[in-house]
């Protein structure tokens, strides 16, 4: 007995339950009233089932059932009968129906209607949109991917941490931050846990990870940006160079893909997608090689410039021709990277991006642990070391070599499942204009 409303989920009814009285509960997805017989499709967490009722056997109950508005929540007790004509192989012949919640009509959005609504309408009514199994599948896969990340990172000695999202100063420069009122002070929402992760490298925890929010006040309006997104952020100490970080990242990605492939068969089927599991090692291409490849394809990009969207797409295409979907871009020019990035041979840096079919999904690298070099880099980037007092202090009393990365969860999901709008990959997206629900 699961609870007073339900003894079985739709997909848990087995042969041994046939000819038994069972209880099911869920949402009324559809009612097909043929006249003297009616079929009610009930949807629960695991799928759908059919309730069949004959008018002449129970006229009152018949009338009650067929007049329930779609998407109402009901609990039904009845005899479970085998029937090969029905998709599940069984149907329920009800003797008791309890309406737990009546749905108003018309629905703001149909769950099984023949017309698909636009994303904007769907997001406005996300609680109904998410009743659709294909929309739900994305979040079930997301769950498995994150479970895989936790499992893998913990197996590698990382501990999970949580750092503040309300912060005193804009951490890195670069992207715009949201300003908020913190009692009598001005504060900001963290655009990344970068500086805190580094601070933790001074503590001896050595390996930390955080599944975290990024808040970014950029007024972008694209299919691949959110103003509130999530990431897997890691930082590790006592590294020799950035290669060690990439080794963790590629294995993390491998494990996430593998677990999704193993455990999300049903969801992948619903979405009609297949997962490409990366071959390890994931190829590393240097920034210089990238520029060369792009120039061969007549891109106007010059050495020293960051890759534009078009360049990223083109590179993705070039790589795909060689059957490579994942690839690292390494050794970016120091100029293009934030102040904390470890330089390499003057003009290069020990940084990398991980791209997946032409879109950046992670970026990271080795950080500077020498405080004097760090101060110099802050100045070179046109910032004032005084503004980084709290941060710089952590480097003055013993800071090991370290590095890490930030990995965008929605970006990854979007590429993994070939979804063309990032808003599909987060339950309640925040974008340039959307603040609710």
Least Å from the CB of residue 123 to RNA: 7
- Pairwise CA distance, residues 71 & 84, whole Å: 26
- Pairwise CA distance, residues 147 & 259, whole Å: 9
Among the listed residues 29, 360, 375, 376, the single catalytic one is 360
Segment 50 to 89, residues that bind RNA, using CB under 7 A: 50, 52, 54, 56, 67, 69-70, 83, 85-87
Q: How many CA atoms lie within 13 A of 204 on its CB side?
A: 1
Q: Of 263 and 427, which has the nearer Cβ to RNA? A: 427
Segment 109 to 168, residues that bind RNA, using CB under 7 A: 109-110, 113-121
Is 187 in contact with 168 (CB distance < 8 Å)? yes
Annotated active-site residue 363? The verdict is yes
Annotated active-site residue 224? The verdict is yes
Q: Of 112 and 168, which has the nearer Cβ to RNA? A: 112
Least Å from the CB of residue 391 to RNA: 17
Nearest partner of 404 among 215, 197, 203, 257, judged by Cα: 197
Annotated active-site residue 265? The verdict is no
Least Å from the CB of residue 242 to RNA: 15
Least Å from the CB of residue 294 to RNA: 12
Least Å from the CB of residue 56 to RNA: 5
Q: Of 3 and 272, which has the nearer Cβ to RNA? A: 272
Annotated active-site residue 216? The verdict is yes
Among the listed residues 126, 131, 150, 224, the single catalytic one is 224
- Pairwise CA distance, residues 1 & 16, whole Å: 15
- Residue of the chain from 408, 413, 416, 417 that contacts RNA (CB under 7 A): 408
Segment 250 to 269, residues that bind RNA, using CB under 7 A: none
Segment 300 to 329, residues that bind RNA, using CB under 7 A: 306, 308-310, 312
- Residue of the chain from 4, 19, 20, 36 that contacts RNA (CB under 7 A): 36
Q: Of 30 and 375, which has the nearer Cβ to RNA? A: 30
Is 24 in contact with 42 (CB distance < 8 Å)? yes
Provide the mask over 88-107, with x wherever binding to RNA is found by CB under 7 A and - wherever it is not: ---x-------------xxx
Q: Which stretch binds RNA (CB under 7 A): 5-13, 25-33, 162-170, 180-188?
A: 25-33
Segment 167 to 226, residues that bind RNA, using CB under 7 A: 174-175, 192, 214, 216, 218-226
What residues form DSSP beta bridges with 322?
Answer: none
Among the listed residues 216, 377, 402, 423, the single catalytic one is 216
Segment 334 to 393, residues that bind RNA, using CB under 7 A: 336, 353, 360-363
Least Å from the CB of residue 4 to RNA: 27
- Residue of the chain from 37, 79, 211, 277 that contacts RNA (CB under 7 A): 37
Nearest partner of 211 among 260, 142, 278, 264, judged by Cα: 142
Provide the annotated active-site residues.
Answer: 216, 218, 224-225, 360, 363, 411
């Amino acid at each position: 007995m699961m609870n007073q409303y339900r003894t079985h989920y739709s997909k848990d009814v087995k042969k041994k339950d046939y000819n038994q009285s069972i209880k099911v509960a869920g949402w009324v997805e559809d009612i097909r009233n043929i006249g003297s017989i009616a079929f009610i499709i009930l949807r629960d967490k695991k799928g759908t089932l059919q309730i069949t009722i004959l008018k002449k056997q129970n006229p009152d109950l018949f009338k009650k059932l067929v007049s329930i508005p779609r998407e109402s929540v009901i609990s039904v007790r009845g005899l479970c009968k085998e029937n090969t004509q029905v998709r599940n192989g069984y149907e329920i012949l009800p003797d008791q129906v309890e309406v737990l919640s009546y749905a108003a009509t018309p629905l703001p959005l149909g769950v099984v209607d023949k017309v698909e609504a636009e994303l904007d309408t769907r997001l406005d009514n996300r609680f109904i949109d998410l009743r659709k199994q294909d929309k739900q599948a994305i979040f079930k896969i997301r769950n498995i991917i994150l479970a895989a990340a936790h499992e893998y990172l913990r197996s590698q000695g990382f501990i999970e941490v949580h750092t503040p999202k309300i912060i005193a100063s804009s951490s890195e420069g670069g992207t715009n931050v949201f300003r908020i009122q913190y009692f009598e002070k001005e504060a900001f929402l963290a655009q990344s846990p970068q500086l805190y992760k580094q601070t933790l490298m001074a503590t001896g925890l050595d390996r930390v990870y955080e599944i975290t929010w990024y808040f970014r006040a950029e007024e972008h309006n694209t299919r691949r940006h959110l103003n509130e997104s999530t990431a897997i952020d890691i930082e590790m100490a006592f590294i020799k160079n950035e290669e060690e970080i990439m080794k963790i990242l590629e294995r993390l990605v491998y494990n996430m893909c593998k677990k999704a492939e193993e455990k999300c068969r049903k969801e992948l089927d619903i979405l009609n997608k297949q997962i490409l599991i990366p071959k390890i090692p994931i190829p590393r291409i240097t920034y210089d090689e990238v520029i060369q490849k792009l120039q061969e394809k007549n891109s106007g990009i010059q050495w020293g410039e960051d890759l534009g969207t078009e360049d990223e797409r083109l590179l993705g295409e070039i790589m795909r021709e060689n059957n490579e979907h994942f690839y690292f871009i390494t050794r970016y020019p120091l100029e293009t990277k934030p102040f904390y990035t470890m330089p390499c041979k003057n003009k290069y840096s020990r940084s990398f991006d991980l791209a997946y079919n032409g879109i950046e999904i992670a970026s990271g690298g080795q950080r500077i642990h020498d405080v004097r070099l760090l101060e110099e880099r802050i100045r070179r980037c046109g910032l004032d070391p005084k503004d980084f007092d709290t941060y710089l202090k952590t480097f003055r009393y013993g800071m090991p070599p370290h590095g890490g990365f930030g990995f965008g969860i929605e970006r990854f999901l979007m590429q993994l499942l070939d979804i063309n709008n990032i808003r599909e990959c987060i339950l309640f997206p925040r974008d340039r204009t959307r603040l609710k629900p």
